[in-house]
Amino acid sequence: MDIRAAEISSILKDQIANFGTEAEVAEVGQVLSVGDGIARVYGLDNVQAGEMVEFPGGVKGMALNLESDNVGIVIFGDDRNIKEGDTVKRTGAIVDVPVGKGLLGRVVDGLGNPIDGKGPIEDATRMRVEVKAPGIIPRKSVHEPMQTGLKAIDSLIPIGRGQRELIIG
């Protein structure tokens, strides 16, 4: 078997040029505590507010409370399998959901993924979950009353359809 130095050199140059091209770099953090659907995570220094993160087992979460030494993450799924010390990976994507006529008659989870077995959602665009509400001027005026069915509430606190008002009870 005759191997020439030029052949070895070209093979080595090719190996060096292609080395590490498939390497995946991800920022990961570590779960400090879990409770009531919220995980405290250390190590996600560059995470953005509203960014999707992934826990082991494919459970997703959204970074909400950004503090100097840890991040509060709302867990979208079963948090019983998430424990202290688990790794959490950034996805780099801000949480968004599908919107549009394609959602009519469909059953979706909290992230807009179909769970009714009818296949993917069609004719829907995606919008971020956290968006700034329009100001007073661009909003459509409230001109139609909304009846709650309770005369005491309807007479004391008249509410218009489309009005941003929290009604508890």
Identify which of 81, 71, 25, 79 has the alpha carbon closest to the alpha carbon of residue 50: 71
Report whether pLDDT(145) > 90. no
Report whether pLDDT(2) > 80. no
Average pLDDT of the segment spanning 146-163: 83
Residues composing the chain: 169
Q: Per residue in 17-61, pLDDT tens? A: 877 766 677 789 999 999 999 999 999 989 999 999 999 999 999
Domain ranges of the chain: 28-94, 95-133
Q: d(Cα 147, Cα 155) in Å, to the nearest integer?
A: 10
Q: d(Cα 145, Cα 160) in Å, to the nearest integer?
A: 4
Bridge partners of residue 54, in order along the sequence: 60, 89
Torsion of CA 147, 139, 111, 25, to 10 degrees: -160
Among the listed ranges 2-6, 48-52, 92-96, which one has the minimum average pLDDT value? 2-6
pLDDT at 137: 83
- CATH match of 28-94 with 3.90.76.10: no
Q: Per residue in 106-138, pLDDT tens? A: 999 888 889 999 999 988 899 998 888 888 788
Q: d(Cα 127, Cα 129) in Å, to the nearest integer?
A: 6
Residue type, 122: E
28 by DSSP, 3-state: which? strand
Spatial neighbors of 6 by CB under 8 A, at least 6 apart, are: none
